[in-house]
Structure 1
């Protein structure tokens, strides 16, 4: 099971503006990249806060929300039958269940706490990171905490538009 982290950040390393208007600073090209890659993967994982900020499941993808209280969201889950699930499974158990159902990969889309949880368990295989040419007053970085050193190798980069770049990293076993 491959986990692909897909994120966008400002050049000062923030993924959300302090006033919660996080979507307004991301370019149309990044939004298109995000839609295409997550639609191709077909299944996305996110934390409860990210889901609540988005407000509804992302279309054309299975949405799985990690939360400490999945029972609280049973009615919402039923409303979006087969497209939205809430779980309190630990990441490795969730990934094992998804792999047994035939999913070879998932898109991890945040937030910073969930990203850190997957990172600390060494479960992130790839990172697609868009850098937008803005400096924002932000309150979140890609990872809320990092407890060790994790090595990744830049395998590709491209311009999404005149000023926005997309970086693609693969996890390495290098212990430098």
Structure 2
């Protein structure tokens, strides 16, 4: 199964500011993210990202959203398009494959991104770099024992914005 990481970050590598603020992301980044969600058909996120998305009232529509969490109240929830699970990253990918998906989209936060990268499960990355520096915030990857090399596949400017998208392949 091909696993793609799709994230927006500041020039200095922050994916969210204090209190998980992402109001600085561009319309172009958001459109690209939603387009990738529709293409892949699923999105894997962590609990904090889920809470942020829910707070902002963001809807992913018919996209299957898999939320990795250890929080018992969420694990007990049931939803048509959302699965709450405490499974390990490799097991989540196996579950999606059993459901017929050929690709998976990992969408943060930093701890979740690191868990997938550490296990060698990320095949490609789309990183949208927004023209902003945040002194404090959540990094793209939490600290961990990993150092994969990447091959740059494409660099492009998103529409009429100053947002730059980097597309990488992870060398395995």
CA contact (8 A) 1:15 1:138 kept: no
Shift of 1:162: 4.0
Matched residues in 2 for 1:87 and 1:150: separation? Answer: 27
5+ residue gaps, structure 2: none
5+ residue gaps, structure 1: none
Count of residue pairs brought into register by the alignment: 168
Shift of 1:60: 2.7
Q: Which residue of 1 aligns with 2:18?
A: 18
Matched residues in 1 for 2:128 and 2:92: separation? Answer: 27
Matched residues in 2 for 1:111 and 1:19: separation? Answer: 13
Shift of 1:96: 1.2
Aligned with 1:96 (options 87, 94, 97): 94
Aligned with 1:131 (options 109, 129, 132): 129
Give matches, 1:59-98, under 5 Å: 59-69=61-71, 71-73=72-74, 77-78=77-78, 80-81=79-80, 83-98=81-96
Q: Which residue of 2 aligns with 1:3?
A: 3
CA contact (8 A) 1:46 1:65 kept: yes
Matched residues in 2 for 1:41 and 1:123: separation? Answer: 16
Q: Are the structure 2 counterparts of residues 130 and 87 from structure 1 closer, same or farther at C-alpha, using a change threshold of 3 Å?
A: same
CA contact (8 A) 2:20 2:138 kept: no
Deviations 1:65-116 (A, max 9, x none): 00113x41256x43x32x0110011111121121122110111000000111
Shift of 1:135: 1.3
Instruction: Determine whether 1:172 maps to 2:137.
Output: no
Tell me, what secondary structure is at the counterpart of 1:25?
coil
Tell me, what secondary structure is at the counterpart of 2:44?
strand
Matched residues in 2 for 1:60 and 1:156: separation? Answer: 29
Tell me, what secondary structure is at the counterpart of 2:20?
coil
Matched residues in 1 for 2:96 and 2:26: separation? Answer: 31
CA contact (8 A) 1:131 1:166 kept: yes
Tell me, what secondary structure is at the counterpart of 1:138?
coil
